[in-house]
Every structure is written in C-alpha cells, then in structure tokens.
Structure 1
Amino acid sequence: MTSGDEGPLADELVDRLVLQRETVHAGMVWDVVREQVDLGDAGVVTREFVAHTGAVGCVALDDQGRVLLLQQYRHPTRILDWELPAGLLDVAGEPPWEAASRELYEEADLRADTWHVLADWQNSPGGSSENWRCFLARGLSAVADEERFVREHEEADIVVRWVPLQGAVDAVLAGRLHNACTVAGVLAAHAASQQGWATLRPYDAPWPEHPAYR
C-alpha cells in the first residue's frame, strides 16, 4: 500500500490491458460481460460486470427553491421510489444535456431554459460500467397539453411532487429516500446552493469518464 496524499484529489483514467472479453449474457437493456485483465505486478484477474450505456438526469429546481421528484415502481427492489427525472443514454449521438432535457420533457412535462452540470458519479464501479451525469435545470415552464409525451409501462403511473430542497435533504438523511441518483443529486444540489452555485459547470462540460464522450 502506498500513500495517495500528493496531487489534486481526483479520479484517474487508466487503461489496463484486456486479454480476453466475452458476453456472458445479452440482456434486453444491457449485457453482462466477462473480461480477463492484466493488472501488471498484481497479476491477471477475471472480472464480470454490467456493460451499461450510462444515464443522465436532472435536479429540476423551480423559482421557489423546490425540487421535482417523481414516484414510480421499480420491480427489482419492489419499491415505489422517489426519483429525479432521468433516463438512459440510449440514443446514438445524443449529447448528454439533450438527453436530460428529453427526459424532463417525457417524464415531467417540463422544459428548462438554463442547464448546468451539477455532479458526475458511477453508481457501482465494482460491478457496472455505468456513468451518470446530473444536471441542474432551472427556468422551468410547462409543456402544452397537446405537446405532452404519452407515457407507458411504469412511467404511465408517475406521481409528481414538488419538495423544498431542504425537505428533500432531510428525507435523504432520515433514510426515507433510497434511489442513488436522488440521494446524490439532492445532496449535490444542496451543497452547491450553499456555495452560491459557484461550483456549477457548463452544460457541455467535458465528461471523459464516459467512453462515448472522451
């Protein structure tokens, strides 16, 4: 073990040599792959993980300081959870901010005039290649009734709730909200608000951690 006390605190992209790769399971949305990786002095290891397209979402904040949360059923956890407007990066060539805007439109019937990058994260880097980017969306306006997206499946029964940002933070810290993106996004928005939003990045800030945007 070596000390990591020097230099800026930042994750580092490293390209280890992949000796072999196979698809263990080709899924409906994402695959499970197995790779044999050369770690150098640490030897050769085999790892299985979910090959994920990545996802985006947004903290939609209105002019009263309230954040929009959407409740929908998630079958793997058997929970009606409260989530940010979000979705997969599954449209080829679509920029991340446009994907987040599309999800806000489709799931919440809203548009936003102002977009900033709030935070980036990886939900489970030991078992998934998923990269997640969360935006802050402000300057909100409702989509006209005749222009609204027709939702289906789990999204057909979405419940909408506007919550003061501090109230959402309190719910996270009390253990009443569990969706990882909701937890991370709400806490990041609160932290950024405490610094007068000075930490926000441009909507098109670099995102080299996601392979499609390097």
Structure 2
Amino acid sequence: MPEFDDLRDEPFEPEVLSSEIAFAGAVWDVRDDRVRYGDGEIRRQYVAHTGAVAILALDADGRVLLIQQYRHPIRHRDWELPAGLLDVAGEEPVEAARRELAEEADLVAAHWEPLVSSWTTPGGNDEAIHVFLATGISTAPAAHAREDEEADIRVEWVPLDAAVRAVLDGRMRNGILSIGVLAAAQRLRDRG
C-alpha cells in the first residue's frame, strides 16, 4: 500500500497575460485574469480576498463556542465559528484571531495554536482562512460595540461531539465551522 504522508497541494504559476479589476467592491474586488494555460489561454474571474481567520474556542468542559448570525447571500442565520478578515495591515493571523474573538464574543484565550488552514472556494476566490484552537477562555475586559448583522449575534457553548454530529448530519453547513470542529475532534483524538 503506498504511503501518502507527503500528499500536498502543489504551487503552479502559469503566465498571467493580464489581470484587471472587473468590479471594485466595498470589501472585496472581482478580478478578471487572462492566463496562458497549456497551448491556449483561459480567462477566469474571481473574488480577490484579504484572507481571514477563525477561532475554535474550546472551554474546559469540551464545549466549542458557536455564533449564529444572518448571512444575506444564503438567506440563513447559520452557525459559525467566530471569524474575521485579515484586513489590518501587517497584523499576524493569530493577532487577528485574538482581535476577532474579543470583537465577536467578548472573550480572550490564554492559549493559541494553529488548527487547520483552508482555501474556502478556490474556484471562485483566493481566500485562505487560518483556523486557530483557543483554550483557557475567559471574559474580555470590555464588551465590543456591534452593528449590522453582528448586533444580534447569538452565542452558544456546544459540546464538541454535538457540533460534529450536526455537521455530519447536514444540520450545520458552514464550511469553516465544519473543518474547524472536525479538525478539533481529530486533534483531541490524536492527543488521546
């Protein structure tokens, strides 16, 4: 049986013949690229994304912090992990994660470790998200003012195994939440 320990995505950079902003948005732009590929040329449009972080906050009782908020593109109040954009110049992903946990849930964590990273939708955007495992959770010194969709965020501490079941049963379909809870469950299993 072959070993797959070195299985990984591979960088590949064909010649970009042109790259233009087709739409300049308030948060993200849409790029229109022409690329030399093989013996021909392809054209691709995609959302140029700043990148993001998400936090799998796990308390001493093995519960994961979930937030629920309205997401207009899907017309649902979906369950998510606290998350946010890498939109502060020079900010390291773990620092952005600390900031987002405080902003979205009024919490701080004593311990941080990388959990998993993912390209969310590589056929449609270039977003890379870095999910961190945060433990040693406590209340932040100050509450964060929220507006728009964040003003009515619902916060729940859910047993990790219940979150895993909800993902696998198709009751919670947020992709970042899915990879985060599944990765955390595996990480805890690996630690024994």
Q: What's the TM-score once normalised by structure 2's chain length? A: 0.95
Structure 2 matches for 1:169-188, cutoff 5 A?
169-188=164-183
Match of 1:29 in 2: 27
Runs of at least 4 residues of structure 1 off by over 2 A?
A: none
Q: Secondary structure at the match of 1:172?
A: helix
Distance 1:8 1:92, change over 3 A: same
Match of 2:12 in 1: 14
Distance 1:194 1:42, change over 3 A: farther
Q: AA paired with 2:188?
A: S
Deviation at 1:14, TM superposition (A): 2.1
Match of 2:74 in 1: 77
Match of 2:185 in 1: 190
Q: AA paired with 1:193?
A: L
Match of 2:48 in 1: 51
Q: What's the TM-score once normalised by structure 1's chain length? A: 0.86
Structure 2 matches for 1:1-214, cutoff 5 A?
8-39=6-37, 41-144=38-141, 147-196=142-191
**Cα RMSD, aligned residues only:** 1.4
What percentage of aligned pairs have identical amino acids?
53
Gaps of 5+ in 2: none
Q: AA paired with 1:36?
A: R
> What is the CA–CA distance in structure 1 between the aligned matches of 2:29 and 2:39, rounded to whole Å?
27
Q: Which has the higher strand share?
A: 2
Gaps of 5+ in 1: 198-214
Distance 1:42 1:176, change over 3 A: farther
> What is the CA–CA distance in structure 1 between the aligned matches of 2:87 and 2:71, rounded to whole Å?
19
Q: In terms of mean alpha carbon deviation, does 8-17 or 107-116 score higher?
A: 8-17
Distance 1:70 1:7, change over 3 A: closer
Structure 1, residues 160-198: CA drift from partner, whole Å, max 9, x if none? 10001000001101111011111111111111111018x
Structure 1, residues 29-78: CA drift from partner, whole Å, max 9, x if none? 10111111112x34221111111111101100000000000011001111
Distance 1:60 1:7, change over 3 A: closer
Aligned residues: 190
> What is the CA–CA distance in structure 2 between the aligned matches of 1:105 and 1:12, rounded to whole Å?
35
